[in-house]
Amino acid sequence: MGDETQELDQLREEVARLSSRVQDLEAGYAVRETLLDYAHFHDRGLSDELAELFTEDAVLDISGFGAGLDTSITGREAIREMYAQIDARSDGPPPYKHAITNLRIEVDGDQAVTSSYLMDWGGAATDRGPGGGMYRERLERQIDGRWLIKHKRIASTAELTVDAVSSLQI
């Protein structure tokens, strides 16, 4: 009887560990999808869909790309308007293509912090870096299970090192 109880306890512990790992994997996958949706929507000029990836009170900080692009914006609607203005500069689909690489995701409960390299072809300020930078995000899991961006920092690496950008607070 004691051996069976011990085996059952070990099995329960293993199921709990596996359940936790699956939840972490699912969270990481969902965060990744939000970030890839951001690039997809941005490259297609879908500012409404892009803005829905942010929380209502989100913060967007852009630095190192020059006076025409550097900004700090608070709120989903202000973020939507900024991206709509960027999209309006193009006659047709926006001229940029974003690639997100070296994505790191750290999940802690309902919070996640990410960092990734950005390569952008076409669009504003690509002569500086060439359109290279880093993304740093803090995301929150919503009641419906979606992961939305709470704070996004876009920093050019043309004038900053990767370590300097990685240490920026979000």
**All structural domains of the chain:** 2-166 (3.10.450.50)
What pairing do the DSSP bridges indicate for beta strands 54-63 and 111-121? unpaired
Three-class SS of the chain: CHHHHHHHHHHHHHHHHHHHHHHHHHHHHHHHHHHHHHHHHHHCCCHHHHHCCEEEEEEEEEECCCCCCCEEEECHHHHHHHHHHHHHCCCCCCCCEEEEEEEEEEEECCEEEEEEEEEEECCCCCCCCCCEEEEEEEEEECCCCCEEEEEEEEEECCCCCHHHHHCCCC
Q: How many CB atoms lie within 10 A of CB 88?
A: 11
pLDDT at 107 over 90: yes
pLDDT at 160 over 70: no
Nearest one of 61, 98, 96 to 78, comparing CA atoms: 61
Check pLDDT > 60 for residue 139: yes
Say yes or no to pLDDT of 143 above 90.
Answer: yes
Which pTM does this prediction carry?
0.82
CA 141 to chain CA centroid, Å, is: 13
Residue 132, beta-bridge partner list: 119
| Exposed/middle/buried for residue 82 (C-beta within 10 Å: 0-12, 13-18, 19+) | middle
Query: Is the pLDDT reported for residue 127 higher than 50?
Result: no
Q: What is the mean pLDDT of the chain?
A: 86
pLDDT for 128 equals 44
Please give the residue that has the higher pLDDT: either 66 or 54: 54
In the chain, DSSP finds a helix count (H) and a strand count (E) of 4, 6
Query: Is the pLDDT at 3 greater than 50, yes or no?
Result: yes
